[in-house]
A and B are shown apart, each in its own frame.
Chain A
Amino acid sequence: MSTTPDATWPLYEVFVRGKRGLNHVHVGSLHAPDDRMALHNARNLYTRRNEGVSIWVVRADAITASSPDEKDPFFAPAGDKVYRHPTFYSIPDDVPHL
Chain B
Amino acid sequence: MTVSDETTRLATASTPDGAPTPERGPEEVFEATVAAEGRIEPRDWMPEGYRKTLVRQIAQHAHSEIIGMQPEGNWILRAPSLRRKAILLAKVQDEAGHGLYLYSATETLGVDRTELTEKLIDSRQKYSSIFNYPTLTFADIGVIGWLVDGAAICNQVPLCRSSYGPYARAMVRICKEESFHQRQGFELLMTLMAGTDAQRAMVQDAVDRWWWPSLMMFGPADGDSPNTQQSMAWRIKRHTNDELRQRFVDMTVPQAAALGVTLPDPALAWNDERQAHDFGEIDWAEFTAVVKGAGPCNAQRIAHRRAAHENGQWVRDAASAYAAKHADRSEEPAA
Contacts and interface: CB of A to CB of B under 8 A. Distances in A.
Interface string A64-98: 01011111100100111010010110100000000
A28 B178 CA distance: 18
Closest 3 A-B residue pairs measured CB to CB? A33-B323, A71-B19, A34-B323
B313 A30 contact: no
B11 A79 contact: yes
Contact of B327 (A34, A44, A70): A34
A82 B15 CA distance: 14
Interface string B286-328: 0000000000000000000000011001001101101100110
Given A2-B309, A2-B310, A5-B320, A34 B104 contact: no
A35 to B, nearest CB: 9
A67 B316 contact: no
Interface residues of B, number: 45
A61 interface: no
Given A5-B316, A34-B323, A70-B19, A78 B14 contact: yes
Given A7-B112, A79-B11, A79-B15, A68 B316 contact: no
13 contacts: A6-B316, A7-B114, A28-B104, A30-B100, A33-B322, A34-B327, A37-B319, A44-B97, A68-B43, A69-B19, A71-B15, A80-B7, A88-B3
A72 B15 contact: yes
Contacts of B107: 11, 29
Contacts of A9: 320
A53 interface: no
Contacts of B1: 90
B94 A2 contact: no
Nearest to A11: B107
Interface of B: 1, 3, 6-7, 10-11, 14-15, 18-21, 41, 43-45, 90, 93-94, 97, 100-101, 104, 107, 112-115, 117-118, 169-170, 173, 177, 309-310, 313, 316-317, 319-320, 322-323, 326-327
Given A5-B316, A67-B43, 19 more contacts: A6-B113, A7-B112, A8-B320, A28-B169, A30-B100, A31-B113, A32-B319, A33-B323, A44-B97, A45-B101, A68-B44, A70-B19, A71-B15, A79-B10, A79-B11, A79-B15, A80-B7, A88-B6, A90-B1
Nearest to A5: B320
Contacts of A90: 1
B170 to A, nearest CB: 7
Contacts of A2: 309-310, 313
Interface string A40-52: 0000110011000
Contacts of A32: 319
Nearest to B4: A82
A66 to B, nearest CB: 9
A33 B20 contact: no
Contacts of A27: 173
Given A2-B309, A28-B170, A68-B43, A75 B323 contact: no
B19 A34 contact: no
Nearest to B93: A48
Contacts of A75: 14-15
Contacts of B97: 44-45, 48
Contacts of B20: 69
Given A33-B319, A75-B14, A82-B3, A6 B114 contact: yes
A87 B100 CA distance: 45
A5 B100 CA distance: 17
Nearest to A4: B114
Interface in A1-19: 2, 4-9, 11
Contacts of B319: 5, 32-34, 37
Contact of B14 (A68, A79, A88): A79
Contacts of A34: 319, 322-323, 326-327
Contacts of B118: 4
